[in-house]
Amino acid sequence: MVRNAAIVGGGHADWGKREATWKDLAQEAGKATFDDVDGLGPDDVEGLFVGAVQPERFAFQSHVAPLAAELLGVNASKMIARTELACASGQAALRYAWLAIAAGQLDVALVLGVEKMNLGDEYMGETQASMTNVLDREFDGVNGLNAPSFFSMYAQRHMHEYDTTREQLAQVSVKNKRHAANNPYAQFQQDVDVDDVLDSFPVAPPLCLLDCSGITDGAAGLLLVSEEKARELTDTAAYVTGSGQSCMASNSINNLPSMSAWPQATQAAEEAYEQAGIDDPVEELDVAEVHDCFSISEIIEYEDLGWVEKGEGGQFIEDGRSELDGDIAVNPRGGLLGCGHPLGATGVSQALEVYKQFTGEVESARQVPDSPETGLIHNLSGSGSVHSVMTLARDPQ
């Protein structure tokens, strides 16, 4: 039995430096989710999937899925689990919910992503230390490889091998922060220009502060239901049409296939495209939420998701092809660069954005024109070792 599943709504807590706990954020996102969907409440939820990366380090709390179930009054009578896949934990949660529904195990799932990361500026060292254990801590994290220093080397290699320019990197930040300026839950709601990016603090050269996503407290939730249930509830849903993941047995530096390319993203995308029947993604995708944890990431993703030839990602942003009115509207939500990156919540938020683009419920300044009907979400994790790609469509065929 393989059944279709669809997103029928969801909501966010406000993202940023929040004067709130992990539990507060989970409750806010849960309320926003149930408030958004007429006809479904906590009692209807049979499966709960919670994306959360480091509650043990950031909130001194484990076993967070039943904690969230209790907070939201969710019975989770058939399935409950937390997913941990570093920065892609959110899409992992969604993927498992989809598989459970596709397999006929349940009809209504709540997918929740929650991360509390800001412990106060005086404790930023603890947060940064926790981030270094995402790679092999014994051999890579120990060398200070937290996210900025690591992804800066992807930027350096890409610039070295393909002549990608610093300005092209900055253009990604400018685009995504422009979208976030019109997103009420985003952490960074301010326009910047290329000079602002280039003049910002060199956090990890060649990357500057405005090339980086934030340290963010945030949460997002969505309801994923079987097609039968979706048709009872609404005329406009976002159906999962394809889903792929690839790891290539890589995590440590020595075993990454490349430091300027993500063939794992290519594998995951090809898998999703095949399931969805997508032959030409640039032609057939209307909107994409891709993992711009750093400006360089989005440029590599244009290439390795199969939208342009390798090395032409910088030209793709420079030519405006990823703007709202371009070939594929990329990160109308504001991306991780604009919204911030509460690790476990990001993948859930990306999926919800595609749904909201389909229903036209986003702020007009960041609405993708001409009623988008197909979308893609992409979550990467760790050193770029794992890539998760899902395609969504208003029509399940």
Partner 1 sequence: MTDTDDEVPRRTVTIPDRIELPRLLDFYDLQDADHTRIHEFYDRLREGSLSTTQCADCGELHFPPRVVCPECTSDDLEYVSLPHEGTLHAFSTVRGSPIGMDTPFGTGVVDLDGVDVQLSARIDGAEYDDLAIGDPVSLVITEIDGPTDQQRVFYRFEPQGDNE
- Residue 157 engages partner 1 in binding (rule: CB under 8 A): yes
- Cα 348 from Cα 330, distance rounded (Å): 16
How many amino acids of this chain bind partner 1 (CB under 8 A)?
A: 38
Asked if residue 252 binds partner 1 (CB under 8 A), the reply is yes
Torsion of CA 125, 210, 156, 389, to 10 degrees: 90
Piece of the chain touching partner 1 by CB under 8 A; list 11-19, 147-155, 262-270, 323-331: 147-155
State the catalytic residue, choosing from 87, 208, 212, 339: 87
87 is catalytic: yes
Q: How far is the CB of 131 from partner 1 (least distance, A)?
A: 8
Does 250 sit near partner 1 (CB under 8 A)? no
* Least distance (Å) between residue 193 CB and partner 1: 24
Q: Respond yes or no: is residue 378 known to be catalytic.
A: no
- Asked whether position 189 contacts partner 1 by CB under 8 A, the answer is no
Closest approach of partner 1 to the CB of residue 102, in Å? 31
Show the binding pattern over residues 107-146: x = contacts partner 1 (CB under 8 A), - = does not. -----------------xxx-xx-xx---xxxxxxxxxxx
Shortest separation between residue 220's beta carbon and partner 1, angstroms: 25
Which member of 158, 179, 341, 387 is catalytic?
Answer: 341
Among 61, 105, 156, 359, contact with partner 1 (rule: CB under 8 A): 156
Cis-peptide into 206, omega within 30 deg: yes
Q: How far is the CB of 96 from partner 1 (least distance, A)?
A: 26
Candidates 7, 8, 32, 153; binder of partner 1 (CB under 8 A) is 153
Pick the closer one to partner 1 by CB: 131 or 339: 131
Which residue among 90, 148, 334, 347 contacts partner 1 (CB under 8 A)? 148
Pick 154 or 262: Cβ nearer partner 1: 154
Q: Which is nearer to partner 1, 56 or 284 (CB)?
A: 56
Q: Does 254 bind partner 1 (CB under 8 A)?
A: yes
Which stretch, 180-188, 189-197, 245-253, 347-355, contacts partner 1 (CB under 8 A)? 245-253
Rounded distance between C-alpha atoms, residue 140 and residue 98, angstroms: 34
**78 or 157: CB nearest partner 1:** 157
Kindly state the smallest distance separating residue 133's Cβ from partner 1, in Å.
9
- Other C-beta atoms lying within 10 Å of the C-beta of residue 382: 21
- Interacting residues with partner 1 (CB under 8 A): 124-126, 128-129, 131-132, 136-146, 148-150, 152-154, 156-157, 160, 202-207, 249, 252-254, 259
Residues identified as active-site: 87, 341
